[in-house]
Amino acid sequence: MRVILDLISHKGTDCISIGFDYDFDLKEYLKQFPGVRWSKSKRTFYIPFSEEGKKGLHDHLIAGDYRVVYAEDVARMDKRMVQSQTSLMALDSEKIKIHTLFVAYLKGKRYGESTVASYSGFILNFLRFIKKDINLVDEDDVRLFTEWAVATFDYSISTHRQLVSAFKQFAYFYPACAINIDAINRPKRDQKLPTVLNKEEVIALIQATKNLKHRTIIALLYGSGLRVGEILALTLNCFDFERKMLHVKRAKGRKDRYATIPESLLPILKNYYATYKPKHFFIENPKGGAYTAGSIRNFIKQNCKLAGITKRVTPHTLRHSYATHLLEAGTGIRHIQELLGHSKPETTMIYTHIAEKDIQVIKSPLDMMVQELRGSKKEHNNLLIPGPDFRI
């Protein structure tokens, strides 16, 4: 979540205002910083200005995994966005019609709301960018727009890949244009291995989490291998305690699936229900609505510090850890794929690269070589220890 710091005058004193979209956990976290006060007249949290206070507040927010920006940077960013819009042309009636039909096409393919919004937004900017008849547009126009958009909006690799996917759908939708789909290259996805907690770290994290609601969320994320969006969408009728099954509805890819409820979780789940008495969503915010992913990320970050965990841990780290520990325990890839709700086994196969079960039994050639030499000659026992002539 973004926090905007600005220099203001309050009661004749220079102060730093702290602006953010309302979030209960952020508000409570902010109160932990010395000197933070609420101004009724300014309708903002603030601290008296000093360079030390400014740096301390900045570090405090960063430690809580909040994104800090300064008002002058926001103003420059807004100016940059306005300037970028001058490169875009207004749509004529023909382009408006094509864009409207493209949105209908995406909805007809039953894409999710976020996908429709992303794809249609990319194509809207493209239609405003090009200065020629839409029927004459080809892959060179797509390349020029992509170069401009990536440079202007600083797209990540994943957003760039989404942009290419949008163009591929547009080319299918509007074959009258001259875009060669095969000539549009999608950048390769980063091949990063996920962060995984070991079993001791998982237990330490749960034990360090004193808040009952937070502990329940962490235990359920790990114990059932849920995505953060899935746990937020859980309603009371998703739980089948007799069968120890959890009905995960309309998960990623609009797929339903069943996840297991660990028997060791039953007492904490019942304690949580009796204490908080949720009405609709199993995890609700203090006002009764759905909880937020940002809140979960924040308290996981804070409790990892309490547990002495130095890895960068997100809600999805717990899901990665769940899958890896299942694999190390001998559970088959096919079963793990079903439990996680992956469409392709290739997605699940990434956990074979980080599971310790098989990697630990592999001997390095260096170990084998040293072992052979030690067996053949006694003087090789201290082969890797530097001799008396060793110098740094």
Given the residues 161, 249, 252, 374, the one annotated as active site: 252
Cα–Cα dist 107/123, whole Å: 15
Stated length of the chain? 392
Residue 63 lies in a domain: yes
Q: To the nearest whole percent, how much of the chain has pLDDT over 90?
A: 24
Residue 101's pLDDT band (cuts 50, 70, 90): very high
The mean pLDDT value for 279-284 works out to 89
Does residue 155 have an active-site annotation? no
Q: Please say if the pLDDT value at position 6 is more than 80.
A: yes
Residues 68 and 92 in one domain: no
> Each residue of 43-81: pLDDT tens digit?
899 998 888 888 888 888 887 777 787 776 555 544 444
Residues 179 and 236 in one domain: no
Q: Which CATH number is 157's domain given?
A: 1.10.150.130
Coil, strand or helix: which one is 263? helix
Residue 102 lies in a domain: yes
Give the pLDDT score at 260: 87
Residues 175 and 293 in one domain: no
Residue 386's pLDDT band (cuts 50, 70, 90): low
Structural domain including 62 reads 2-84
> Each residue of 200-230: pLDDT tens digit?
999 999 999 999 999 999 999 998 989 888 8
Given the residues 227, 301, 320, 325, the one annotated as active site: 227
How many other β-carbons are positioned within 10 Å of the β-carbon of residue 183?
Answer: 12
CA quadruple 121, 122, 127, 131: dihedral sign? positive
Residues 209 and 315 in one domain: yes
Residue 391 lies in a domain: no
The mean pLDDT value for 266-283 works out to 90
> Each residue of 234-273: pLDDT tens digit?
999 999 888 888 888 877 767 788 888 888 888 899 999 9
Coil, strand or helix: which one is 112? coil
The mean pLDDT value for 386-391 works out to 52
Q: Please say if the pLDDT value at position 304 is more than 90.
A: yes
Residues 220 and 139 in one domain: no
Q: Please say if the pLDDT value at position 283 is more than 50.
A: yes
Q: Which of 153 and 279 is assigned the larger pLDDT? A: 279
Residues 208 and 333 in one domain: yes
Query: Which tokens hold the place of 113?
Result: 């709301």
Give the pLDDT score at 378: 52
Cα–Cα dist 283/236, whole Å: 9
Residue 388 lies in a domain: no
Residue 143's pLDDT band (cuts 50, 70, 90): very high
Which of 183, 212, 237 is the last residue in one of the domains? 183
Q: Please say if the pLDDT value at position 21 is more than 90.
A: no
Does residue 110 have an active-site annotation? no
Q: Which residues of 274-309 are buried (b: 16+ CB within 10 A; e: fewer)?
A: eeeebeebbbbeeeeeebbbebbbbbbbbbbeebeb
Given the residues 42, 168, 316, 380, the one annotated as active site: 316
Total of domains in the chain: 3
Give the pLDDT score at 369: 61
Q: Show the beta-strand stretches assigned E in 178-312.
A: 239-240, 245-251, 255-260
Given the residues 272, 291, 322, 351, the one annotated as active site: 351
Residues 317 and 249 in one domain: yes
Query: Which tokens hold the place of 270?
Result: 């019942």
Residues 163 and 293 in one domain: no
Residues 213 and 315 in one domain: yes
Cα–Cα dist 69/24, whole Å: 20
Tell me the pLDDT of the chain averaged across its residues.
Answer: 82
Query: Which tokens hold the place of 141?
Result: 């126009």
Residues 204 and 320 in one domain: yes
Angle at 299 between CA 298 and CA 300, to 5 degrees: 90
Query: Which tokens hold the place of 64?
Result: 């809580």
The mean pLDDT value for 303-318 works out to 92
Residues 140 and 71 in one domain: no
Give the pLDDT score at 366: 61
Given the residues 297, 319, 320, 325, the one annotated as active site: 319
199, 197, 232: which is closest to 213 by C-alpha?
A: 232
Given the residues 95, 215, 297, 342, the one annotated as active site: 342
Q: Which CATH number is 301's domain given?
A: 1.10.443.10
How many other β-carbons are positioned within 10 Å of the β-carbon of residue 37?
Answer: 13
Residues 214 and 339 in one domain: yes
Query: Which tokens hold the place of 25?
Result: 């956990």
Angle at 261 between CA 258 and CA 266, to 5 degrees: 150
Does residue 316 have an active-site annotation? yes
Q: Which residue has the tokens 């508000």?
A: 27
